[in-house]
Every structure is written in C-alpha cells, then in structure tokens.
Structure 1
Amino acid sequence: MSTNSMIIAKGEDGFYRGIYSHWDGYIEHNGAILQNHYNDLEKVNKLISLGNISSLEEKLPDEITNDKKDDHITFTSLNSIVQEYKDDITTEYIYIFEDNKWLVMVNNGKTLGNIVQLDIALALSKANNREKLIELTGSTTVL
C-alpha cells in the first residue's frame, strides 16, 4: 500500500510549488530524506522540477529526462495549501520547505494536523516518543 505525500517549496517569488510522491511518504522515509539530502532551496527546486514522482531518492538524477518536469501544483500561500488538503484523506503527509527549513503536516484521516518542524518530528520518531509526536502533529497516523 502506498503512503502518499506532497513535497512543496516556497520560492523566492513567494509562491509555493509542489509535487506528488506516491510511495513511502511517512516521516521516517521521505521526511528523513528531505531533511538530510534536500536542505537548500536550489536542491529542493531541482527535485520539484522533476514533476510528480513515484518514490523519493536521496540523490537527484544527473539529467532530468522526465516529460512531466513541469507537472507541479502552485499555491499562493501556506493557507491555500491547508485549504487544498484539509479534507483530502488520500494525501497523508505534506512537506513544506520554507525559510530554509522543512515543515510537515500529517493527515489524521479526517483533516490535516498541525504544522510541525520536520527536524523535531524526526527526533521524536527516532526517540520512539510517539505520544509527543501525536500531540504535536495532531495525528495518530504517525504510528
């Protein structure tokens, strides 16, 4: 079964652009890869230029040959992202790169949870502090 996620970055123009990732969207996989390997806007923009992806890899391909490289969604604000996905129970994780840090929102099966800094969510997950992670994200989906 897939764990769907969105990977979104706020550009220098103030707009948010994002792509869909089909597999392994959970914090311990996509979240960890984003935090550890896509930690500046240039790298994140290159990732988004690939268009929608099946799965996230630690390294970008040397050459972008994807015919869907312009296949991304644009948002005008963080609030517009929340409005788009608040009732979408199929997108389980939303990662947002803004001000040189990653944020994550987790869908709790009914609506989006709280916006949390990804590094904090990863640290809690690694420490097996599920109770605090659930409290912060507002979602038991992180289990």
Structure 2
Amino acid sequence: MISKTLFSIVCAILVWILCVSFYLLSFYVPFLENQELQSNIVLALAIIPSACLGAYLFYKNSYMKPSTLALTFIIVATVLDVLITVPVFVIPNGGSYSEFFRDPMFYTIVVEFYFIVLYYGNHLTKKLEA
C-alpha cells in the first residue's frame, strides 16, 4: 500500500496538472483583452473543482488532517511551479522567478487553494466519521 504522504503528493501533482492545463488553455480562448488577467481568473475558478477532486481522491483512500493535506498540496504546487512552471512557461515569455513570486495573484491563489482543500477536507472527513 502506498504511504499517505506519497499519495497526498500524487493527488497534489494531479491538481497542479489540472490547474496548469486550465491556465494554459485559457490563452487559446480569448474573451478578455488582458490575457494575463483572463488566465488568472480561469485559474482562480479552475482551482475550485481541481482541489476538490484532489481532496476527494485522497480521502477516498487515505486520511490526513485537512490542514496538513492543504499545506502538502500548496508545497507540492509551489515546488512544481519552481521546477516547471517558471522555467518552461514564464521565463520563455519574458518573465522571471521574482516576477512570478512577487505577483499578488500568486498569493491570492495560494490562500484560495488552502481554504478550498481545508473546507472540502473537513466536509469529507465529517462524512467519514458519521
């Protein structure tokens, strides 16, 4: 059986892949003039079902405190942003690590991500206890 820590990391990677996919796809369906704002809006919306799916898959097979799972998801996503998102997608388009991590939207999405996983995790664990 896979350890719960490793399984939480796998679920976090799935959530990150979904979110990055939605973010990148948003550039191909323009509906706002400001593409960066559009992609951030799409990401902020896409993170809701993606985080819920990741939490659901995790709690279906394992248990961890929702706050710990939320932090695990955030840490994994941040590490993947450092290793993949910034060098592959941001830097080739003229951005930088400092620009990416100084963006207030990054921290807004991190907070949103944490609270979605925390809330949905608490909801799922209450169902498991009942």
The structure whose RCO (Cα within 8 Å, separation 6+) is larger is 2
Structure with bigger helix share is 2
Larger radius of gyration: 2
Length-normalised TM-score, structure 1: 0.28
Structure with bigger strand share is 1
Length-normalised TM-score, structure 2: 0.29
